[in-house]
Amino acid sequence: MQGLGRHAVLTAEDKALLLGLELNPRRVSAGEVLWQESADVDLFCVIKEGWAYSYRNLGNGSMQILKVYLPGDIIGMRDFGFTRRLAGVAMINDGVISPFTHQQLFELFGRSPALAAGIMATAVRQQAILTERLVYLGRYAAHERLAHFLYELYLRLKRIGAVEENGFHMPLSQEQIGDALGLSAVHVSRTFSMLRDEGLVIRDRQHTVLPDPDALARLVEFNGTYIDEALPPVFQSFA
């Protein structure tokens, strides 16, 4: 939800409406499945603490991680307009979520066109991250996939104040990173070592440091407009 405040002018009433979606926080555990693939679409949620991911289970027994969710993200908006879940969602580490219903979302839309536009724009931008993932999975070598993934996380975490001295907490396992990038855990380990030897990434368990973020971005010709670009001026007219 923090992204709405950065990209659009919110009135006091808008902020109060947003807080209304976060009135029923629930603590969740690492590995807890928030919903399964093909389950009924009955709730959305804001992730207040912790990380989560959406996924699809594949016929060969493997998993494809589609999206990593960070604190402040809305989870489930990809399913808006569907009766069944397009993907499952599970927690990466312990956290807190605030579930809300279709009805609450409709009431918010009816009371604030600015928030309706902002939330829909946020959902579209989440789809843009999936599109970017498709491009680099299909065209990049393993070290470029990992570099792109890490730099994207770095930018997203920086936006929520979770980066200090170019370092950040990353609770993803090598297996989970591999499931996101289409690589084996062994290949992920080797690729981290390659980036470390090039002075681009230092990883110590769940702490990751990018000694030279700009160099990492140059490696993959990273274009961050799908993350950093402000909402078009037309959205401000709703405020």
Which domains, from first to last, does the chain contain? 2-133 (2.60.120.10), 141-219 (1.10.10.10)
Contact 97, 28 (CB under 8 A): yes
pLDDT for 132 beyond 50: yes
> How confident is the model over 5-10, as a mean pLDDT?
56
**pTM for the whole structure:** 0.89
Q: 170-195: b or e for each residue (b if 16 or more CB lie within 10 Å)? A: bebebebbbbbbebeeebbeebbeeb
The amino acid sitting at 103 is Q
Contact 104, 111 (CB under 8 A): no
pLDDT for 238 beyond 50: no
More confident of the two residues 192 and 111: 192
The DSSP secondary-structure symbol of 232 reads P
Measured CA to CA, the distance from residue 182 to residue 174 in angstroms comes to: 12
> How confident is the model over 216-222, as a mean pLDDT?
93
For 195, the 3-state DSSP assignment is helix
pLDDT for 52 beyond 90: yes
Please tell me the total number of residues recorded for the chain in this structure: 239
For residue 228, list its beta bridge partners. Answer: none
- Residues 229, 230, 233, 238, Cα dihedral to 10°: 140
pLDDT for 232 beyond 90: no
Report the pLDDT value the prediction gives residue 66, as an integer from 0 to 100: 94
- Cα–Cα nearest to 47, from 2, 102, 9: 2
pLDDT for 33 beyond 50: yes
Across all residues in the chain, what is the average pLDDT? Answer: 88
More confident of the two residues 117 and 67: 67
Name the pLDDT band for 236 (thresholds 50, 70, 90): low
Q: Give residue for tokens 């009371």.
A: 111
Contact 44, 81 (CB under 8 A): no
